[in-house]
Structure 1
Amino acid sequence: MNKYCSSCGVEMPAEAPQCRSCGAIQDNFVYKSRVAAAVIAFSTGLFGIHRFYLGQWWGIFYLLFFWTYIPMLVAIIEGIVFLATSQKVWNDKYNRGLSLGTEKGGVVVIVPLVFIGIAMVGIIAAIALPAYQDYTNRSKVLESKLVAQQLMPAVESYAFERQQWPRNLEQLDIAAPRTSDNVGSVEIDAGVIIVAPAASTGIAGALVYIPKAQGSSIVWDCTESTIDKRYLPADCR
Structure 2
Amino acid sequence: MKSVFITGANRSIGFETAKRLWNDGYFVYIGSRDQGKGEAAAAQIGSERIAVVQLDVTDPSSIQAAHNQVSSTTGSLDVLINNAGILGGYAQQAINAPGSTIREVFDTNFFGVISLTQALMNLLQKSAQPRIVNVTSGLASLTNHSDPSWKYYNVKGAAYGPSKTALNAYTVVLAYELRDTAFKVNAIDPGYTATDFNQHRGTGTVEDAAAIIVRFATLDENGPTGKFYSNDAAGGEMAW
TM-score range, shorter chain: under 0.3
TM normalised by structure 1 equals 0.20
Q: Per chain length, whose mean CA-contact separation is higher, i.e. which structure has more relative contact order (CA < 8 Å, sep 6+)?
A: 2
